[in-house]
Amino acid sequence: MTEPTPDTDRERVQKVLARAGFGSRRRCEELVEEGRVRVDGRVVVLGDRVDVVRSVLEVDGVPVSVDPTTVHYLLNKPAGVVTTAADTHGRPTVLELVPSEPRVHPVGRLDLETEGLLLLTNDGTLTHRLTHPSFGVDKEYLVEVEGSPSRGALRTLREGVELEDGRTAPASVSLVDRGVLRIVIHEGRNRQVRRMCAAVGHPVVRLVRTRIGPLRDPNLRPGAWRPLELAELRELEQAVQVVPTGDGPVGEPAADEGV
């Protein structure tokens, strides 16, 4: 049997939406009246309440974080810090760089020597979507490589590189400077950028993630973190929204590969 929801966790939908940044209370009432708001898959009407801790609230099919206990941190991971929760070799972990309560987890992984933006959260729905390959959120990297890649090498990186776990999807690749590339990929394979560059004869010297979907922050110094702003969170949620297929309820995308 499931536990009954305490009354303290149930709030009027329009109030929750207003707090989550969807505009004035009146504007949020309109969203409800327009039938654009669902709780656990069902369209709500004015006066309905939502369990902010357990229910999934969606606006236009986009899940919206409304649980006041969820947090979203953007960290600039320095090199030499591991992305796992604990390290058997005693190396510093990303969890040591952010508040310990509430407990958060990293969304995806950066290699030990990779620097740059990493999201940490306790928001399970968002994590699932951001790490699910079907949603394909763009990740942008600044990549310093050995040597100076030829046009042919750049073309190969763009069109797809044959790796041992299959050919990579088309990527956006530009030459920023001699031996410095900007690479945007939407897959999340293990050590993907390093393996792509090595495969075309230009091993990575330095790798920095500069963007996750709509999130960037050139002013965040290495080792520093900050909470996502509400507008950033909404943009991120938009970036991982499910496109309704028309056959049945708004669902999860088809799984194709692991993260």
Residues that bind ligand URA (CB under 6 A): 110-111, 114, 191-194, 207
Cβ 94 vs Cβ 106: under 8 Å: yes
Q: Smallest distance, Å, CB 101 to ligand URA? A: 27
Closest by alpha carbon to 134, among 246, 233, 257? 257
Question: Considering the complex, what minimum distance in angstroms separates the CB of residue 223 from ligand URA?
Answer: 17
- Please give the single-letter amino acid code of residue 60: D
Q: One of 111, 138, 177, 217 is an active-site residue; which one?
A: 111
Residue nearer to ligand URA on the CB measure, 28 or 145: 145
Q: Which two tokens stand for residue 26?
A: 């009146």
> Is 67 an annotated catalytic residue?
no
Q: How far is the CB of 117 from ligand URA (least distance, A)?
A: 11
SS3 239: helix
Q: Which of 47, 203 has the CB closer to ligand URA?
A: 203
Helix (H) or strand (E) holding 212: strand 204-212
How far is residue 127 from each of residues 107, 237, 243, measured CA to CA in Å? 6, 10, 18
Question: 254: burial class by Cβ within 10 Å (0-12, 13-18, 19+)?
Answer: exposed
List the one residue out of 39, 32, 36 whose CA is nearest residue 66: 39
Query: Toward ligand URA, which CB reaches closer, 108 or 253?
Result: 108
CB of 207 to ligand URA, least distance (A): 6
Q: Which is nearer to ligand URA, 16 or 193 (CB)?
A: 193
CB of residue 47 to ligand URA, shortest distance in Å: 47
Q: Closer CB to ligand URA, residue 70 or residue 192?
A: 192
The residues that bridge with 50 in the sheet, in sequence order, are 11
Which of 169, 188, 21 minimizes the C-alpha distance to 118?
A: 188
Whether omega for the bond prior to residue 63 falls within 30 degrees of 0, making it cis, is no
Residues labelled catalytic: 111
